[in-house]
Amino acid sequence: MHQVVVPNGSYSHCCVSFPNHIMDDYVYCVENATFFDARNSDYMKNTRRQMLKGEVPVQCRRCFDEEQLGKKSHRIRSNEAWDSAAVHSLVEYSIANDFSVVEDPTYLDLRLGNRCNLKCRMCSPWNSDKVYDETIELLHDDSFKEIWTTTYGQPPQKIGPWYNSDKFWDDVKSNKNIKKIYMTGGEPTLINKNYEYMEYLIEQGLGDKVELFFNLNGTNIQGRFIELLKAFSKVSINVSADGKDDLQHYIRYPSNWDVIEKNFIALMKIKHINLGVTPVLQTYNVLGLDRLLYFLDGCENQYQRKIHIDILISYHPNYSNALVMPETIRKIGAERLNTFREQSIICQRDQLSNNSIHSATEFLLSTCEYEKYIEQFVSYTRILDRHRNMHLIDMGPELWNLLNDNNIII
């Protein structure tokens, strides 16, 4: 029912799987395979076979780990979202036909390249061309090269314009079963092919039949984008923001909080949009994420507009994982999230938001072996700060001071 193309043009199982590509003797990608080829590869057939045996495929481990923390994972929410009778029919067909799936997917996740205007600290070159350019520059630094090689291996390859392929778009447009499209990137509002596909759907009279779902960074809400949204009856938008003011600028460099706030308020005024925010819990916002959440709570109260919160967790690279932080710091962050959850208007109204914040709190309190990556975190932070002419203290002195108290000097 669901199929993904990731920013480098490879096909994937879903948006949170790791590893995130389908591979037999070669990686299935837009250049060498169709959607049909990828979903009926030996790799995908074996994945279905494992699931029906009750086994957990390694690429699906993340959802099961989140469920252990009490979070309603992407797996659970997806199972709840789709018609069970249709799913069971597909399962029965697949079992009878060597675990193949002939029917076109009803949900396409299209990540059309890595064009972006930000260089988020936890991001990778595969999701932002700005991070790619910076990474190529920094690989001349021996300390950075050591961190990179340990984390990723080989230097990143530049992502070409695979999304301009007529063959790919013919494949997308041939799908007459489509009910939902998810678009991100990169930053989807900077990718012209997203606009062209929206226009195509409108021309085909599908504005009231296809649901659009975007994940945006909130920096670039164009009039063209707003006008196209009005032609669709079902639109969901998640805004990726990790803090307020200087914290947001430091993590999602060089974003400007004032611009994001203005754009977020503009989106709130479009009443048919289902609006959410998806912060990424990581090393840098362990102590400051709650300030963003209080802002969102105030927006819901002021504008009488429902907002949902879904906290994502940075598991990789290891030095961005919040569990790298000393336990004393994580406990403070967990207490702040829990205090917000107990007071929040959003959490009282929306169980998914409540659940997400609760599981993030539990994550911060979990035992781990990630503190061994603290030296990588320190080195990576120093290198990036030097390259960007920034300093950790720029986002506020609290984390810097507490790290010093733990003899962690940046």
Q: For 152-161, what is each residue's pLDDT tens digit?
A: 999 999 999 9
Q: Which is more confidently placed, 343 or 22?
A: 343
Domain co-membership, 32 together with 159: no
Domain co-membership, 122 together with 53: no
For residue 410, tell me if it sits in a domain.
Answer: no
For residue 18, tell me if it sits in a domain.
Answer: yes
Q: Is it the case that residue 58 has pLDDT exceeding 80?
A: yes
Q: Are 74 and 14 in contact (CB under 8 A)?
A: yes
Q: Is it the case that residue 19 has pLDDT exceeding 70?
A: no
3-class secondary-structure state, position 110: strand
Domain co-membership, 41 together with 176: no
Domain co-membership, 122 together with 36: no
Q: How many residues does the chain have?
A: 410
Closest CA to 66 of 283, 313, 289: 313
Average pLDDT of the residues in 27-45: 90
pLDDT, tens digit, 9 for 90 and up, residues 289-298:
999 999 999 9
**Which band of pLDDT confidence, cut at 50, 70 and 90, is reported for residue 21?**
low
Domain co-membership, 168 together with 289: yes
Domain co-membership, 223 together with 317: yes
Phi, psi at 179, each rounded to 5°: -125, -20
Of the candidate ranges 22-36, 40-54, 173-187, 274-288, the one whose mean pLDDT is the lowest:
22-36
Q: In DSSP terms, which residues pair with 274 in a beta bridge?
A: 236
Q: Which is more confidently placed, 17 or 374?
A: 374
Write down which residue in 86, 105, 124 finishes a domain. 105
Write down which residue in 81, 105, 129 finishes a domain. 105
Percent above pLDDT 90 for the chain:
78
* CATH code of the domain in which 307 resides: 3.20.20
Q: Are 314 and 321 in contact (CB under 8 A)?
A: yes
For residue 332, tell me if it sits in a domain.
Answer: yes
For residue 95, tell me if it sits in a domain.
Answer: yes
For residue 119, tell me if it sits in a domain.
Answer: yes
CA distance linking residue 55 with residue 57, whole number of Å: 6
Q: Which letter does DSSP use for residue 165 in this model? A: -
Q: Are 384 and 121 in contact (CB under 8 A)?
A: yes
Q: Which is more confidently placed, 91 or 131?
A: 131
Q: Are 408 and 373 in contact (CB under 8 A)?
A: no
Q: How many structural domains compose the chain?
A: 2
pLDDT, tens digit, 9 for 90 and up, residues 199-215:
999 999 999 999 999 99
Domain that holds residue 313: 111-405
Q: Which DSSP helix (H) or strand (E) runs through 143? A: helix 142-151
pLDDT, tens digit, 9 for 90 and up, residues 322-336:
999 999 999 999 999
**Which band of pLDDT confidence, cut at 50, 70 and 90, is reported for residue 162?**
very high
Domain co-membership, 56 together with 125: no
Domain co-membership, 182 together with 216: yes
For residue 144, tell me if it sits in a domain.
Answer: yes
Domain co-membership, 291 together with 246: yes
For residue 359, tell me if it sits in a domain.
Answer: yes
Task: Enumerate residues 6+ apart whose C-beta is below 8 A from 303.
Answer: 265, 268, 269
Write down which residue in 53, 84, 105 finishes a domain. 105
